[in-house]
Amino acid sequence: MGMHSSSTEPRSGTLVGRVAIVAALSAVGGGLLAAASAVTLAEAAVVRADDRRLRDEALEILAEVEKHPAEDALARLIEEERHELAPAGLRLAVRRDGAHVGGDASLPLRGEGCSTESGAVELRLCVATRGAFATVIAANEVPSLGGRAMGVIALSAVVVAALIGALTSRRLARWAVGPLARLETRLGAAPMDEAVDLGADEGVREIDALRTTLRALLDRRAEALRAARLFAAGAAHELRTPLTTLSGELELLTEGSLPAPELDRIEGLRATTARIAALVERLLMFARVGAAEAMRHDAVELGDLLEERKQRLPADLSARLSCEPRAPALVRGDESLLAVLCDNVVSNALLHGGRGPVRVVLDEREGDVVLDVIDEGPGVPASERARLFEPFQRGIGAGPGAGLGLALVSQIARAHGGRVLFVDRERGAHLCVCLPRWMPREGRGA
């Protein structure tokens, strides 16, 4: 089956989700950084604007005092200017040749320009000089945006960044992992033993390197599987002729007038030969599964195959088996292989399900035909389930068998784009086979 992620997975559990979370967090972090930068720049702009105001006042007063060299007139002018500036929270001092002439004598005289004076009360002051005169204009408070304005700017930047992150992070994440998702889709649809088309390189170094590695790995896997199938098919063909001859010779012996003990031994040999012949046929079938050129794509009714299987069973086994078709069970595939699948799931349940009833339920769920086989036997431990779908693997305490039945079921299901698994059940075993439902449009194009 493919490697596609379930849509019900939490976003943080997928690569897209993780990239989206990182993108959203980066957006919020960028918003915080942008807010800090904006506050810093706005604070500097406020200070510069206030400095221009103070410097303009200082230059204007400096031009006035130069017109009034007389001390009395100068003192009156300075006092008038000081009273005019006071409502605006500004303080004034005038000096001539470094000596205080008027205004606030506590204001320090610094070099020309604007600076912040620290002390009991922090002041922002600007000094203008021309000739012998120097004027100092100071603001009672250092200009600032204020904590509330800073908070509003920071919060606004973070909110905008978070909204942008929420709206774009998922789409950007899908774009970022798009090459990996496309590679995943191609890899999930890769056949077992054929050349795999993983697409052309997309210019993303890491993904292209992974594609190259996977292509080489899948080619080696396909070659190994083809070699294994050829060996299995060759060995099975070589065994089929002598087994047929041996079976015929044993049957001829039973027709003679031999003592009962010898006849019993011959019957035992015939049963053993029959089991080996069945194993050979399964090996041949196992070698055939996956060969796409040999696969047919008919519309196959699983209900009919199960009914045929039930009719071929001995009366005691047929009585234990019940079929419950709840929906049309049409699938697209090779009828002979699907018949083997139905035979094996039924035989496995009858063989390992004790002496209790075996229910086969045919239903349709989410576009798949679902074949549920339920028995009342000892069940299959969760730790054993995956292993039983491998060739020549048998469960603990299993009865007779070669360990190929469920492996063949799994192979046939996968060859048809389906899957097989055990479902948890309090008592007995529940085997579930899911196969893609046949669509009429596909049937006409087949």
Q: Is 243 in contact with 277 (CB distance < 8 Å)?
A: yes
Which pLDDT does position 1 carry in this prediction?
37
DSSP secondary structure, 316-380, as one string: HHHHHEEEEE-S--EEEE-HHHHHHHHHHHHHHHHHHSTTS-EEEEEEEETTEEEEEEEE-SS--
Q: Which of 58-62, 72-76, 276-280 has the highest mean predicted lDDT (pLDDT)?
A: 58-62
Place of tokens 């929906």: 327
Q: Is 330 in contact with 438 (CB distance < 8 Å)?
A: yes
End-of-domain residue from the set 288, 308, 337: 288
Neighbouring C-beta atoms of residue 395, cutoff 10 Å: 19
Of 28-32, 137-141, 390-394, give the lowest mean pLDDT range.
390-394
Residue 423 lies in a domain: yes
Indicate whether 54 pLDDT > 80.
yes
Tokens for 421? 């698994």
Note whether 38 and 118 are same-domain residues.
yes
Tokens for 4? 């596609």
Indicate whether 86 pLDDT > 70.
yes
Domain range for 130 is: 1-176
Which position has the higher pLDDT, 129 or 180? 129
* β 321-325/358-365 pair status: parallel
Note whether 362 and 408 are same-domain residues.
yes
Which pLDDT does position 20 carry in this prediction?
67
Q: Is 428 in contact with 376 (CB distance < 8 Å)?
A: yes
For 413, the 3-state DSSP assignment is: helix
Note whether 235 and 116 are same-domain residues.
no
CATH number at residue 368: 3.30.565.10
- Average pLDDT over the chain reads 76
End-of-domain residue from the set 243, 261, 288: 288
Note whether 91 and 228 are same-domain residues.
no
Q: What is the pLDDT of residues 307-357, one digit of tens each?
A: 888 888 888 888 899 998 888 888 888 787 788 889 888 988 888 877 889
DSSP secondary structure, 268-313, as one string: HHHHHHHHHHHHHHHHHHHHHTT-GGG---EEEEHHHHHHHHHHHS
Q: Is 197 in contact with 187 (CB distance < 8 Å)?
A: no
Bridge partners (DSSP) of residue 298 are 333
Note whether 303 and 435 are same-domain residues.
yes
Residue 190 lies in a domain: no
**Cα(363)–Cα(361) distance, integer angstroms:** 6
Contacts of 61 (CB under 8 A, 6+ apart): 81, 92, 94, 128, 135, 137
CATH number at residue 252: 1.10.287.130
Residue 418 lies in a domain: yes
Q: For the CA atoms of 326, 332, 337, 342, what is the dihedral angle to 10 degrees?
A: -10
Q: Is 282 in contact with 412 (CB distance < 8 Å)?
A: no
Indicate whether 446 pLDDT > 50.
no
Residue 184 lies in a domain: no
Of 112-126, 151-165, 189-203, give the lowest mean pLDDT range.
189-203
Note whether 17 and 147 are same-domain residues.
yes
DSSP secondary structure, 195-212, as one string: --------S-HHHHHHHH
pTM score, whole prediction: 0.44
**Cα(421)–Cα(430) distance, integer angstroms:** 9
Nearest to 388 by CA among 358, 359, 410: 410
Helix (H) or strand (E) holding 246: helix 205-254
Note whether 261 and 318 are same-domain residues.
no
How many structural domains are present in the chain? Answer: 3
- Please report, as a single letter, which amino acid is at residue 256: G
For 143, the 3-state DSSP assignment is: coil
Which position has the higher pLDDT, 32 or 363? 363
Residue 199 lies in a domain: no
Note whether 259 and 151 are same-domain residues.
no
69 CB-side CA count, 13 A: 3
Which position has the higher pLDDT, 28 or 299? 299
The sign of the torsion formed by the CA atoms of 65, 71, 76, 81 equals: positive
Residue 308 lies in a domain: yes
Neighbouring C-beta atoms of residue 436, cutoff 10 Å: 15
Which pLDDT does position 6 carry in this prediction?
41
Residue 340 lies in a domain: yes
Bridge partners (DSSP) of residue 440 are none
Q: What is the pLDDT of residues 286-311, one digit of tens each?
A: 666 555 444 567 788 998 988 888 88
Q: What is the pLDDT of residues 358-411, one digit of tens each?
A: 999 999 888 889 999 999 888 888 877 777 777 655 555 455 544 567 888 888
Q: Is 323 in contact with 362 (CB distance < 8 Å)?
A: yes
Residue 420 lies in a domain: yes
Note whether 367 and 255 are same-domain residues.
no
End-of-domain residue from the set 262, 288, 314: 288
Q: What is the pLDDT of residues 176-188, one digit of tens each?
A: 777 777 777 767 6
Bridge partners (DSSP) of residue 432 are 372, 421
Nearest to 35 by CA among 157, 174, 197: 157
**Cα(378)–Cα(426) distance, integer angstroms:** 10
Whole-number percent of the chain with pLDDT over 70 = 75
CATH number at residue 12: 3.30.450.20
**Cα(183)–Cα(240) distance, integer angstroms:** 43
Note whether 319 and 353 are same-domain residues.
yes
Contacts of 391 (CB under 8 A, 6+ apart): 286, 403, 404, 407
Note whether 74 and 108 are same-domain residues.
yes
Note whether 224 and 91 are same-domain residues.
no
Which pLDDT does position 193 carry in this prediction?
53
Which position has the higher pLDDT, 5 or 420? 420
Confidence of residue 192 (pLDDT cuts 50, 70, 90): low
Indicate whether 3 pLDDT > 50.
no
Which pLDDT does position 190 carry in this prediction?
57
**Cα(168)–Cα(145) distance, integer angstroms:** 32
